[in-house]
Amino acid sequence: MKRKVTLKQIARELDVSISTVSKALRNSVEISEDTGEKVQAFAKLYNYRPNNIALSLKNRKTKTIGIIIPEIVHHFFSKVIRGIELVANKRGYNVIVGLSNESFSKEVINMEMLANGSIDGFILSVSKETLKLQDYHHFIETISQGMPIVMFDRVVNEINCDKVIVDDLKGSKKVVNKLVENGCKTIAIITTKDYVSVGKLRTQGYIEALEAHNIKPKADLILKVDDNLVSDEHLEVLEQEIEFMLTNNPKIDGVFAVNELYAISAMKVAQKLKRKIPEDIQVVGFTDGVLSKHASPSLTTVSQHAQEMGEKAAQLLIDNLEVEEEEETYQTVIIETELIERESTK
Amino acid sequence: MKRKVTLKQIARELDVSISTVSKALRNSVEISEDTGEKVQAFAKLYNYRPNNIALSLKNRKTKTIGIIIPEIVHHFFSKVIRGIELVANKRGYNVIVGLSNESFSKEVINMEMLANGSIDGFILSVSKETLKLQDYHHFIETISQGMPIVMFDRVVNEINCDKVIVDDLKGSKKVVNKLVENGCKTIAIITTKDYVSVGKLRTQGYIEALEAHNIKPKADLILKVDDNLVSDEHLEVLEQEIEFMLTNNPKIDGVFAVNELYAISAMKVAQKLKRKIPEDIQVVGFTDGVLSKHASPSLTTVSQHAQEMGEKAAQLLIDNLEVEEEEETYQTVIIETELIERESTK
DNA sequence: ACAAGCAACGCAAACGTTTTCGTGTTGACA
DNA sequence: TGTCAACACGAAAACGTTTGCGTTGCTTGT
């Protein structure tokens, strides 16, 4: 087992100084052609590669960006990661991921673990628990130490940093408009509790769009599901709640679900109740994942362009990292949504 | 913006030496109670945290493990990552991910990028292109430099390292046995080309299981799909091929698909051909993802226990990293598969 | 009173780089 | 022959830690 070769070893072997080797490898003019070639040849022979850690220490930058997300087994988040990795790699950066698992303390611990020199900046999506507790000290502290943060999707307005979000409001309106266009008279929404910012915004978009069409939103048609229902175990409870709403409001002919799982569940319940999709009920989801595409009928849904979000977030962060003067001006990039029409709508 | 405080700054501020500060913080007996408390208080006040990079350089270990996978937008792989991250975090390690995107060169580049000191060891699943080219020099080189590798799922036998695999052969036999038990007489398989090791093994298991039941495997019933068809664009081609097989072999009453997408496609085609599932045709997949659970009918499938694979891989790697004597003995851990019965079988 | 011993601290090396500056050797030129 | 520039290279600091060992100053015992 041959350990990695260092400058020192090359220097000793060739009977020159470390600095000479270093300069020779970087083609410094200070080095004679003779020694230059000798060193280069030797280095190539022993497959010399500079030690990243030493470089990081010296340059005080790691060329690594940290990602903190609530969950990785999730189409949206993994697609964002793919986007981040894509541009990060292209620009010579590595990506290190931490999972908060929607937990506040894991989010804090993970950030502290990475903030001590391991990375140059964060890209993150805030965990639900953090949103609920509204405790943002770890973000504030990180930023105040000079480490930039880019938030995506689930952001917190109080924090001053770059953000990449989807236009949830507009996206929701597109959905409602589409359903109204398609002749729906009674449109229900299946959404989350309000502290999840995106859920709140989508609900708001739904309400505003209805009002724009002179339809009065009815509380009966707004189903706010408890969050832990997203986890698969509570699927039955979710379906029961949906069934309750559908049977109690038989006139519902359009359903807007703020995520894929809710939409799929809605379709399942509707089919169980012998309502035909899209003839009797039209269903639209949010987030374009595998489920939407391969469900039967396939689901009309709002694409958030997750990969693009990741790419944009990485661009923002790296641009910020590589600019000389620290400008204290942050931007919020809005990624346009797109309504992908499939079989669950007319 | 207050930069991160270092030992040197504390030392200067308190008018003691750097070593005194360091020792005080580590509760060395060499330090008087007095200075000890003073330093600790100051450190806490300024929220001192040792710089990870400096520690890595000194200790020559980074407490970080590198993951290289072909694709992250994939239920199986993301679940493996979750497993890795779980035990890695528990044992004080971070996780840095690189995506090969099924490309040989990206796999090589990513590994080289990480191998220069950034990580202590690799956990990886080999890209398809690498398997096809059979060029394993980057693995060999990495290992020979003393950096341990754990391969999972898509492994290469020629390389001597720890491995975590699923018992594809046995898993496939379970499927065929189940279908035979359920009364199937003509069982088809939808699989990949042979160079994908897992595809090959599953095909082999299918054949062996059939023969064990005195059923002669027929070439007509073995559909080897070209790999790029897994990408969603070529979905139609995939469905055409399946339809071709199903119509040309109307007696098919059982289908074994080696991945989720193939299984879903098979169900879609079957339903289009007016065959009832599971009455006319029973379908079983491999890999327990979201699609299987939420398809209609929901899909009977073989669970690979992806998260467990990740956990096991991380354990192997970290155990290897933290053992004193480098033993040159590698193990291959086999994760048991489990047949999850749902609505697509009787 | 003086050596020994101990408590408390500082020095310096080490990890692997890069880079600034200093230094020695040449050669040319006056 | 003496001066100076150019050339080629080495020494050392720096990044932030940890740690073995040397060095103080003081207390203790005889």
Question: In this predicted model, what pLDDT tens digit does every residue of A265-321 receive, in sequence order?
Answer: 999 999 999 999 999 999 999 998 999 999 989 999 999 999 999 999 999 999 999
What are the pLDDT digits (tens) for A243-254? 999 999 999 999
Q: Does A59 touch chain B (CB under 8 A)?
A: no
Contacts of A296 in chain B (CB under 8 A): 268, 271, 295-296
Q: What is the pLDDT of residues B61-74, one digit of tens each?
A: 999 999 999 999 99
Concatenating the DSSP letter of every residue in B167-187 gives -HHHHHHHHHHHHHHTT-SSE
Which of A64-78, A159-173, B134-148, B326-340 comes out lowest in average pLDDT?
B326-340
Q: Do A94 and B114 touch (CB under 8 A)?
A: yes
- Using 70 as the pLDDT threshold, list the residues of chain B that sit under it: 228-233, 324-327
For nucleic chain D, give residues with Cβ below 7 angstroms from it.
Answer: A 15-20, 30-36, 54, 57-58, 60; B 6-8, 18-19, 22-23, 25-26, 30, 48-51, 54-55, 57-58
CB atoms within 10 A of CB A327: 8
pLDDT in the model for residue B232? 59
> How distant is C1' of C8 from CA of B12, in Å?
18
- What are the tokens at B93? 């390690």
| Chain A neighbors of B146, CB-CB under 8 A | 1, 3-4
Residues 6+ apart with CB under 8 A from B308: B83, B335
A118 touches chain B (CB under 8 A): yes
Query: Does A197 score more than 80 pLDDT?
Result: no
Task: State, as a whole number of angstroms, the distance between the CA of A327 and the C1' of D1.
Answer: 62
* pLDDT recorded at residue A212: 96
Query: If 0-12 CB within 10 Å is exposed, 13-18 middle and 19+ buried, where does residue B103 land?
Result: middle
Closest CA relative to residue B89, chosen from A13, A55, A72: A72
Q: Is pLDDT of A230 > 60?
A: no
Q: What is the β-pairing status of strands B162-166 and B187-192? A: unpaired
Percent of chain A at pLDDT above 90?
88
The whole-number average pLDDT for the span A31-41 is 94
Sign of the torsion formed by the C-alpha atoms of A285, A291, A293 and A298: negative
Q: What is the pLDDT of residue B230?
A: 54
Which of the nucleotides lies closest to B4 (Cα–C1')? D16
Best of A48, A64, A290 to disrupt the B interface (most B CBs within 10 Å) is: A290
What is the pLDDT, as a whole number, of residue B152?
97
Q: Which residues of A touch B283 (CB under 8 A)?
A: none
Q: Which pLDDT band holds residue A42 (cuts at 50, 70, 90)?
A: very high
Cβ–Cβ below 8 Å for B73 and A79: yes
pLDDT of B233 reads 63
Return d(Cα A35, Cα A42) in angstroms, integer: 10
Task: Decide if A52 and B118 are in contact by the 8 Å CB cutoff.
Answer: yes
Select from B91, B99, B93, B89 the least CA-distant residue to B125.
Answer: B99
Q: B288: which chain A residues are within 8 Å (Cβ-Cβ)?
A: none
Higher pLDDT, A233 or A89: A89
Q: Is pLDDT at A155 greater than 90 in this prediction?
A: yes
**Closest partner CB to B117 (pick from A52, A72, A116):** A52
Q: Which nucleotide is nearest to B19 (CA to C1')?
A: C10
d(CA A96, CA A68): 9
**Which of B97, B271, B290 has the CB atom closest to A97's CB atom?**
B97
Look up residue A70 and give its amino acid: P
Q: What is the pLDDT of residues A119-144, one digit of tens each?
A: 999 999 999 999 999 999 999 999 99
B63 touches chain A (CB under 8 A): no
Q: Where are the alpha helices (DSSP H) in A91-136?
A: 104-115, 128-133
Which positions in chain A touch B51 (Cβ < 8 Å)? 57, 116-117
- What number of C-beta contacts closer than 8 Å exist between A and B? 149
Q: From chain B, pick out residues whose CB is under 8 angstroms from the CB of A50.
A: 116
Mean pLDDT of all residues belonging to chain A: 93
How far apart CA A10 and CA A16 sit, in angstroms, is 8
Mean pLDDT along residues A94-101: 97
Q: Domains in chain A and their CATH numbers? A: 7-50 (no CATH), 61-165+307-335 (3.40.50.2300), 168-304 (3.40.50.2300)
At B326 the pLDDT is: 64
CA distance A101 to chain B (A): 10
β-strands A300-303, A162-166 pairing: unpaired
User: How far is CA A246 from its chain centroid?
Assistant: 33
Selected residues 84-113 of chain A with any CB under 8 Å from a CB in chain B? 85, 89, 94-99, 110, 112-113
| Predicted local distance difference test score (pLDDT) of residue B231 | 59
Do B294 and A295 count as a contact with CB atoms less than 8 A apart?
A: yes
Which pLDDT score is estimated for A222? 96
pLDDT at A236: 84
The chain B residue lying nearest A290, using CA atoms, is B291
Nearest residue to nucleotide C19 when comparing alpha carbons to its C1'?
A19
In angstroms, the CA A24 to CA A35 distance is: 7
Burial class (CB in 10 A: 0-12, 13-18, 19+), B222: middle
Q: How far in angstroms lies nucleotide C4's C1' from the CA of residue B58?
A: 38
Nucleotides on chain D that have an atom closer than 7 A to a protein CB are 7-12, 14-21
Token pair, residue B31, equals: 């330090």
- Protein CA at A211 to nucleotide C1' at C10, angstroms: 76
DSSP string, A167-206: -HHHHHHHHHHHHHHTT-SSEEEEEE-TTSHHHHHHHHHH
Q: What pLDDT sits at residue A93? A: 97
| Three-state helix/strand/coil letters over B11-23 | HHHHCCCHHHHHH
Instruction: With cut-offs at 50, 70 and 90, classify the pLDDT of residue A226.
Output: confident
- Buried-state track B317-330, b at ≥16 Cβ within 10 A, e below 16: bbebbeeeeeeeeb
Q: Which residues of B touch A268 (CB under 8 A)?
A: 294, 296
Bases along strand C below 7 A from a protein CB: 7-12, 14-21
Give the closest of A53, A82, A97 to B62, CB-based: A53
Q: How far apart are CA B20 and CA B36, in angstroms?
A: 9
Q: Which of residues 147-206 of B touch A (CB under 8 A)?
A: none
